[in-house]
Amino acid sequence: MIIAIKRGSPAEEVIEFIAFLEKQGVKVHRSDGEEQTVLGLVGDTTKIDADALRARHLVDKVIRVQEPYKMANRSFHPDDTRIDVSTDGGGVKSIGGGFLGIIAGPCSVESREQIIAVAQSVKKSGAGFLRGGAFKPRTSPYSFQGLGCEGVNLLMEAKKETGLPVVSELMTINQLEIFDGVDVIQIGARNMQNFSLLRELGHCCKPILLKRGYANTITELLMAAEYIMAGGNERIILCERGIRSFDDYTRNTLDLAAVPILKRHSHLPVIVDPSHSTGLSWMVPSMSKAAIAAGADGIIVEVHNNPEKALCDGEQSITPDVFSDLMDTIRKYAVIEGKTL
Ligand code: PEP
Ligand code: MN
């Protein structure tokens, strides 16, 4: 961090300010130019609040050199993180560190028949994980809100039937007690900056699939991950799921460039959601391929056995047949990228 001091600042105030900075655990290198004094902070500056420094009357400019996140930062952890999830049959499914995680299933759990049928078909095609929302964050309070506890129980039945580990969205921390059998907790776009929820998840021992908020920057996503990691839970999977832009052809705009950026700056696995980012089922196969070609560690894709009758997100849900063809292509892409499915 570099701090430029305002010209004409009283010498004793500068000395006091340096002492204040050093108390925060950093070394301060002072350089007195002809025009201005500049302070170079060396050490861990992640806990220093740059905005609070800017508010001080003797500070002219503050420039952050280091990223504000530490635990999620690749420079503190050069190797890729791999998230291992144990399966009921005694196996392990991994995401990241050379492993592609393919998460497939309906937007919402709707009935026993639906979730079992979709789970069986995606398993047959080679998916590694089953997704299904039991608690749905819907824009309208009058839309289907998910089956709640019953939805979680049905997911457990589908897990037992297929052996697939399950991924489901948690909206408030008191739902955690019924998520005992859920293998990966999804935190949706709308809750990415629910800081009290993120803090609670820091004490939870399950992997967290953290989706990027649709109006959040890449740094904000990494800071959200940092919240969870700072509490002790380091098993986080980042997910690019599209952001809001001026274009309305697609539901959101898939920011595919976020994939190599996140992978460059963080060691955490990064997956892409081609369903919510486009909102259109016919685009899902091409965007899934693009995601893997861009270096993603997997995808989370909505699959429904009858998209036309889906209670949520039917327009973006692919059928089990389309998913099966997509898996055939993904297997080829995995070979090109040197990744294991
Ligand atoms: C979902 O995965 O069903 C979902 C609601 O996702 P997002 O939070 O990305 O909108
Ligand atoms: Mn959905």
66 pLDDT above the threshold of 90: no
Confidence of residue 88 (pLDDT cuts 50, 70, 90): confident
Which one of the ligands is nearest to 240 CA? 1
Residue ranges in 163-278 assigned as alpha helix (H): 195-201, 218-230, 258-265, 274-278
64: Cα separation from own chain's centroid: 24
Residue 151 confidence (pLDDT): 98
Residue 145 confidence (pLDDT): 97
CB neighbours of residue 19 within 10 Å? 10
Residue 76 confidence (pLDDT): 86
| Residue 212, ligand 1, Cβ within 6 A | no
Query: To the nearest whole percent, how much of the chain has pLDDT over 70?
Result: 100
Structure tokens at 305: 């056995």
What angle, 0 to 180 degrees and rounded to 10, lies between the N-to-C axes of helices 258-265 and 218-230?
40
Residue 196 confidence (pLDDT): 97
| Residue 28, ligand 1, Cβ within 6 A | no
Ligand 1 atom nearest residue 189's Cα: 8
Residue-wise pLDDT for 221-252, tens only, equals: 999 999 999 999 999 999 999 999 999 999 99
Whole-number mean pLDDT of the chain?
A: 96
Q: How far is residue 318's CA from residue 300's CA, in Å, rounded to a whole number?
A: 12
Q: How far is residue 78's CA from residue 155's CA, in Å, rounded to a whole number?
A: 36
pTM of the shown model: 0.94
| Residue 146, ligand 1, Cβ within 6 A | no
Q: Return the residue whose CA atom lies nearest to atom 3 of ligand 1.
A: 107
Confidence of residue 280 (pLDDT cuts 50, 70, 90): very high
Helix H or strand E encompassing 101: strand 101-105
Least confident range from 67-71, 99-103, 121-125, 196-200: namely 67-71
Residue-wise pLDDT for 148-186, tens only, equals: 999 999 999 999 999 999 999 999 999 999 999 999 999
34 pLDDT above the threshold of 90: no
Q: How far is residue 33's CA from residue 122's CA, in Å, rounded to a whole number?
A: 65
